[in-house]
Amino acid sequence: MAELHAQTLTELAAGLRAGKFSSVELTRHFLERISKYDAELNAFITVTSELALAQAADADARIAAGTASALTGLPLAHKDIFCTDGVLTTCGSKMLSNFVSPYDATVVTRLKQAGMVMLGKTNMDEFAMGSSNETSFYGAVKNPWNLAKVPGGSSGGSAAAVAARIAPAATGTDTGGSIRQPAALTSLTGIKPTYGRVSRYGMIAFASSLDQGGVMCLSAEDAALLLQSMSGFDVQDSTSVDTPVPDYSATLNQSLKGLKIGLVKEFFEQGLSNENAKPVREALAVYEQLGARLVEVSLPNLPLSVPTYYVVAPAECSSNLSRFDGVRFGYRCDNPRDLQDLYTRSRGEGFGSEVKRRIMTGTYVLSAGYYDAYYLRAQKIRRLITEEFANAFKQVDVLMGPTSPTTAFDIGAKVDDPVTMYLNDIYTIGANLAGLPAMSIPCGFLDGLPVGLQIIGGHFAEAKLLNVAHGYQQVTDWHKRMPERYA
Amino acid sequence: MSLTRKDVEAIAHLARLAITEEEASLYADSLSRILHLVEQLNAADVSTTEPMAHPLAGLVQRLRADEVTATDQHEKFQLNAGKVSSGLYLVPKVIE
């Protein structure tokens, strides 16, 4: 039997069911790995060892009693953006460094009810604003493939934890690429579902029309298993969609013969180094061998997705983050002179520099005299981009291309230039603007650093994406590679 | 579009953010660069396009029945507040 941490969630579930090990043993194994490796990775903000062992004991009792679900007894880590009852929930910010959530997010509730064991809360860019996990109040996270490199962001802690096998899976959130880009940079399978598929209740808001929760794990099979439990209608989220959740695992093995794959012309034209395009093109050749057909499609306004996003997302963020006022929860400055001083200093001292930059960008584009020129215009272009995607899906089943323009870059390389940092999300943002489901799967390495293949589908096509990803993972083994240091 | 330090101070005031003079200069530079990036949007023809606020067409905000669904947990919630007394949130005096 392979070491516990070398197994996928699906394999671990089978081992638990067969009585090869208990959930307590499994949980202890991962907690030991966290205490051994996390000092160098900084993937966790909070480790909930006692709670995890108690949940594992409960899970073992459920398995013994025959009342277990497919996920009972399996450990996972939650991104620290998800509220967890009675547990510190910081969102990577000094502003919430003292916040003990009084309730669980719906995602947390559902996975808890399924019997999953929470190992802890993972590090992230502050309020999910960043592409390198360097904006966290809790410090940068290291990439397990090379500790001098970033793991991507904003779900960088979740990515590093799973890549280093100190957690078998983790939740993430994706507003502009925050699941897919770190998944690509650390060689994981990550999926951002359709907007409205997974409840946003208790997921701390950044840009509410773009935010969506999802998972980061070792295979499409694992993603199907997790997404099954996380998805579905939630009355607590006013944008949750009341559409039945299909059985994601049931269609994983469907043949890919005749699959029409759209190659977005603009994806391959924009700033992608030829070197980086190579593993992606090789992956496309594998799909052709599996019987798929490649079709070039054009989305002429897609190159505008970055500027569109950097109007829409900051605008929504400036509104969402106005709730932090130093009064009801969160950081409160010392000795405020008056109410105005309480507000401005609590916010000025509690938010980090990137969050302040985005709040101010948003405040500016929404301010009187500039609203039409920036915000309204961006919303119109958002429609153009969305319509272009819809047209593309009339011709093809899925779109494919690179997830990220480069492999993982050096820690500190881009922190001084926000615009360069923003361009990391050039391939991922379109799916958020249009609300589409999208994945990143490992498709190779360049100089020892992972490269991700992005797969985008039409609204609610999660089952198709997982099927397409699984087909590739049946004939390749990139997703099974793990960093030697953590083997 | 370039922003000056004074522009940034005005925006920070609107956003209720206390920033230092040094920060204001840095933000004047980085916000100007972001606005320069955003100017690319002027290239698109949107003369006949309706704005889109939400990614799923036809989705409407649901209303719920006007019934009590939450229980009183103010003591639990107020554990996260900086200053409370007798169930009230304390702030600096507003009216002299």
CB of A14 less than 8 A from some CB of B: no
Distance CA B14, CA A120 (A): 37
pLDDT at site A371: 92
Going by pLDDT thresholds of 50, 70 and 90, the confidence category of residue A274 is low
Tell me the pLDDT tens digit for each residue of A83-131: 999 999 999 999 999 999 999 999 999 999 999 999 999 999 999 999 9
Give Cβ neighbours of residue A21 (< 8 Å, ≥ 6 apart).
Answer: A4, A15
A328 → closest Cβ in B30, B46, B89: B89
Query: Per the residue annotation, which of A178, A219, A305, A440 is the catalytic one?
Result: A178
**Is-catalytic flag, A79?**
yes
Axis-axis angle for helices A377-395, A305-320 (nearest 10)? 120
Going by pLDDT thresholds of 50, 70 and 90, the confidence category of residue A273 is low
B56 → closest Cβ in A195, A336, A343: A195
Q: How far is CA B71 from CA A50, A105, A110, in A?
A: 29, 17, 21
CATH 3.90.1300.10 positions along chain A are 4-258+443-452+475-486
Q: Is the pLDDT of residue A391 over 90?
A: yes
> Stretch A389-416: mean pLDDT, rounded?
95
CATH of B1-42, one of 3.40.50.300, 1.10.1470.10, 3.40.50.1820, 1.10.20.60: 1.10.20.60
pLDDT at site A2: 77
Predicted interface score ipTM higher than 0.85: yes
A48 CA: distance to closest CA in chain B (Å): 20
Query: Per the residue annotation, which of A22, A93, A132, A154 is the catalytic one?
Result: A154
Q: Do B49 and A359 touch (CB under 8 A)?
A: no
- Burial of residue A299, with CB atoms counted within 10 A of its CB: 0-12 exposed, 13-18 middle, 19 or more buried: buried
Percent of chain A with pLDDT over 90: 94
CB of A94 less than 8 A from some CB of B: no
Q: Which residue of B has its CA nearest to A351?
A: B17
Mean pLDDT of chain A: 96
Strands (E) across B4-89 are located at: 84-85, 88-89
CATH of A4-258+443-452+475-486, one of 3.10.20.30, 3.20.20.80, 2.10.109.10, 3.90.1300.10: 3.90.1300.10
Tell me the pLDDT tens digit for each residue of A346-360: 999 999 999 999 999
> Stretch B25-35: mean pLDDT, rounded?
96
Q: What angle do CA A265, A266, A271 make, to 5 degrees?
A: 120
Q: How far is CA A199 from CA A205, A227, A238, in A?
A: 12, 12, 9
pLDDT at site A58: 98
Q: Is the pLDDT of residue A272 over 90?
A: no
Percent of chain A with pLDDT over 70: 99
Q: In this structure, how many other beta carbons lie within 10 angstroms of the beta carbon of residue A21? A: 16
Going by pLDDT thresholds of 50, 70 and 90, the confidence category of residue A12 is very high
pLDDT at site A120: 98
Higher pLDDT, residue A223 or A277: A223
CB of A5 less than 8 A from some CB of B: no
> Stretch B18-32: mean pLDDT, rounded?
96
B52 CA: distance to closest CA in chain A (Å): 5
Cis before residue A353, ω within 30 degrees of 0?
Answer: no
CB B17 within 8 A of CB A359: yes
Choose the mutation target among B80, B89, B94, B96 for the interface with A, i.e. most A CBs under 10 Å.
B80
Choose the mutation target among B3, B4, B30 for the interface with A, i.e. most A CBs under 10 Å.
B30
CB hemisphere CA count around A389 (13 angstroms)? 29
Q: Is the pLDDT of residue A271 over 60?
A: no
Going by pLDDT thresholds of 50, 70 and 90, the confidence category of residue B54 is confident
pLDDT at site A44: 98
- One DSSP character per residue, A79-128 reads ETTB--TTSB--TT-GGGTT-B-SS--HHHHHHHHTT-EEEEEE--SGGG
Going by pLDDT thresholds of 50, 70 and 90, the confidence category of residue A76 is very high
Higher pLDDT, residue A191 or A278: A191
Higher pLDDT, residue A450 or B53: A450
Q: What angle do CA B44, B45, B48 make, to 5 degrees?
A: 140
The strand pairing partners of A133, in sequence order, are: none
A455 CA: distance to closest CA in chain B (Å): 19
Tell me the pLDDT tens digit for each residue of A297-311: 999 999 999 999 999
Choose the mutation target among B3, B21, B41 for the interface with A, i.e. most A CBs under 10 Å.
B41
Tell me the pLDDT tens digit for each residue of A16-65: 999 999 999 999 999 999 999 999 999 999 999 999 999 999 999 999 99
> Stretch B21-28: mean pLDDT, rounded?
95
Q: Which residue of A has its CA nearest to B49?
A: A380
